[in-house]
């Protein structure tokens, strides 16, 4: 897990982020807030954890997306009194009882805790985390969550406490609200049964019709992005056989 922490401070920093991200920063009074930053057209760009800090907000983001996020935030800054800078902070995650100073993962209780600062004893085995993500259908930055392509409601952000429909405007809010209130989702991420294995991103075929794509796999299951109207019966993804579990 390679993560980078950005510090956002200045007199306007809280309103600045509140007007941009998908979730309500009021949740910082209780701990971490999981949120995303979207394009004006409502497509996913970044997902991250917001961390309450004295006089600032820290942003825990995938390391390979940190520079682009900093640039995007700087673009929106305009004349606001806001400063954005990377920090030298160790990010740790784990299961079981949380160490002193750690925060519960706000997406799901099963995802354990996250801590910032000194390195703490943790569970950070990639295979174990992938199996947990698959079992709970939790998308990962750059794997199931694809910049300029994914829509957060199709990726489970509502279930994962990553979007607030009462907070007011943010970038991409209009499209997201329309998907929530005026349409029924016809595509989305689900956990599927998998026999065999296939490279991440392999297309799924259902009776000769494109039905989606298969992503992370572990313990006979996988996360798949499916067209619900076509995802019926046994499907194939390369050499793997895929089936819906619901």
The closest alpha carbon to 141, from 220, 49, 229, belongs to 49
pTM of the entire predicted model? 0.95
pLDDT at site 172: 97
Q: Which positions ≥6 away from 121 have C-beta within 8 Å?
A: 94, 99
pLDDT at site 121: 58
pLDDT at site 246: 79
Q: How many CA atoms lie within 13 A of 158 on its CB side?
A: 13
For residues 194 and 220, the answer to whether their CB atoms sit within 8 Å is yes
The closest alpha carbon to 4, from 56, 68, 73, belongs to 68
The closest alpha carbon to 22, from 146, 155, 173, belongs to 173
For residues 127 and 135, the answer to whether their CB atoms sit within 8 Å is no
Averaged pLDDT in 10-residue chunks for the chain of 246 residues: 94 98 97 98 98 95 98 96 95 87 95 83 74 97 98 98 96 96 93 98 97 98 97 96 93
pLDDT at site 120: 62
For residues 63 and 70, the answer to whether their CB atoms sit within 8 Å is no
Q: Which positions ≥6 away from 203 have C-beta within 8 Å?
A: 210, 212, 213, 237
């Amino acid at each position: 897990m390679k993560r980078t922490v950005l510090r956002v401070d200045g007199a306007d920093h809280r309103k600045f982020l509140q007007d941009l991200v998908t979730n309500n920063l009021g949740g910082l009074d209780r701990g971490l807030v999981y949120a995303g930053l979207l394009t004006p057209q409502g497509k996913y760009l970044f997902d991250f954890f917001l961390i309450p800090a004295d006089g600032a907000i820290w942003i825990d983001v995938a390391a390979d997306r940190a520079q682009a996020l900093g640039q995007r935030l700087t673009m929106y800054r305009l004349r606001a009194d806001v400063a954005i800078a990377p920090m030298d902070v160790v990010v740790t995650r784990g299961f079981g009882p949380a160490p002193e100073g750690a925060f519960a993962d706000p997406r799901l209780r099963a995802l354990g805790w996250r801590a910032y600062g000194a390195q703490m004893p943790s569970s950070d085995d990639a295979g174990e985390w992938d199996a947990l993500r698959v079992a709970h259908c939790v998308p990962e930055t750059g794997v199931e969550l694809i910049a300029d392509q994914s829509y957060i409601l199709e990726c489970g952000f509502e279930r994962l406490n990553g979007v607030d429909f009462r907070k007011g405007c943010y970038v991409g809010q209009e499209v997201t609200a329309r998907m929530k209130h005026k349409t029924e989702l016809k595509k989305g991420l689900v956990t599927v049964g998998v026999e065999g294995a296939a490279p991440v991103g392999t297309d799924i075929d259902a009776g000769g019709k494109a039905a989606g794509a298969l992503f992370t796999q572990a313990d006979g299951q996988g996360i798949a992005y499916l067209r619900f109207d076509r995802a019926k019966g046994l499907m194939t993804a390369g050499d793997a056989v895929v089936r819906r579990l619901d």
